[in-house]
Amino acid sequence: MPESTHVPGDAPPASIDRTDGRPVYVIGGGPGGLAAAAALREQGVRAVVLEKSGRVGSSWRGHYDRLHLHTIRRWSALPGLAMPRRFGRWVSRDDMVRYLEKYAEHHELEVVTGVEVSRIDRSDDGTGWQLSATGGRVLTGRAVVVATGFNHTPRIPAWTGSEDFTGELLHAAEYRSPAPYAGRDVLVVGIGNTGAEIAVDLVEGGASRVRIAVRTVPHIVRRSTAGWPAQATAVLVRRLPVRLVDRAGSLMCRVSVPDLAAQGLPRPGTGLYSRVKEGAIPVQDVGLIDAVRSGTVVPVATVGSFDGDAVVLADGTRITPDAVIAATGYERALEGLVGHLGVLDPRGRPVVHGARTPDGAPGLYFTGFTNPISGMLREMALDARRIAARVAKEG
pLDDT at 13: 44
C-alpha span between 229 and 218 (Å, rounded): 19
State the Cα torsion 24-27-29-34 to the nearest 10°.
Answer: -40
CATH superfamily of this structure's domain 24-152+332-394: FAD/NAD(P)-binding domain (3.50.50.60)
Give Cβ neighbours of residue 40 (< 8 Å, ≥ 6 apart): 24, 26, 46, 47, 387, 388, 391, 392
The pLDDT tens digits for 132-180 are 999 999 999 999 999 998 888 899 999 999 999 999 999 999 999 999 9
Contacts of 164 (CB under 8 A, 6+ apart): 306, 308
Q: pLDDT for 306-332, tens place per residue?
A: 999 999 999 999 999 999 999 999 988
What is each CA distance from 25 to 41, 147, 339, 341, 393, in whole angstroms?
A: 12, 10, 18, 17, 17
Q: Say how far apart CA 246 and CA 316 lie, in whole Å.
A: 34
pLDDT at residue 299 is higher than 80: yes
User: Exposed/middle/buried for 267, CB within 10 Å: 0-12, 13-18, 19+?
Assistant: middle
Domain ranges for the chain: 24-152+332-394, 154-326
Calculate the CA 192 to chain-centre distance: 12
**Is 20's pLDDT higher than 70?**
no
Residue-level pLDDT at 5: 42
Contact (CB, 8 A) for 31 and 61: no
Contact 219, 272 (CB under 8 A): yes
Residue 238 has pLDDT above 90, yes or no: no
The C-alpha atoms of residue 208 and residue 181 are separated, in whole angstroms, by: 8
Q: Measured between alpha carbons, how far is 359 from 324 in angstroms, rounded to an integer?
A: 43
Q: CA nearest 263: which of 300, 309, 302?
A: 300
pLDDT tens profile 50-59: 999 999 999 9
φ/ψ bin of 202: left (φ > 0), alpha (ψ from -120 to 50), beta (otherwise): alpha
Is the pLDDT at 4 greater than 50? The verdict is no
pLDDT for residue 18: 58
Q: With 0-12 CB in 10 A as exposed, 13-18 as middle and 19+ as buried, what is 24?
A: buried
Query: Number of H helices and number of E strands within the chain?
Result: 10, 22
Q: What SS3 class is residue 287?
A: coil
SS (H, E, C) 41-65: HHCCCCEEEEECCCCCCHHHHCCCC
Q: Which amino acid is at 97?
A: V
Tell me the three state secondary structure of residue 201: helix
User: Would you say residue 220 has pLDDT above 60?
Assistant: yes
Distance, in Å, from the CA atom of 22 to the CA atom of 261, rounded to the nearest integer, reads 59
**Beta 24-27 vs 143-146: how paired, if at all?**
parallel
Which of 215, 282, 194, 222 lies closest to 246, judged by CA?
282
Residue 350 pLDDT > 70: yes
Report whether CATH 3.50.50.60 matches the domain 154-326: yes
Residue 296: predicted pLDDT: 98
Give the rounded distance of the alpha carbon of 241 from its chain centre: 26
* Average pLDDT value over all residues in the chain: 92
Calculate helix-pair angle for 376-394, 31-42, nearest 10 degrees: 40
Least confident of 17-21, 22-26, 65-69, 220-224: 17-21
Average pLDDT (211-224) is: 94
- Confidence band (pLDDT; 50, 70, 90) for 226? confident
Are 387 and 365 a contacting pair, CB within 8 Å?
Answer: yes
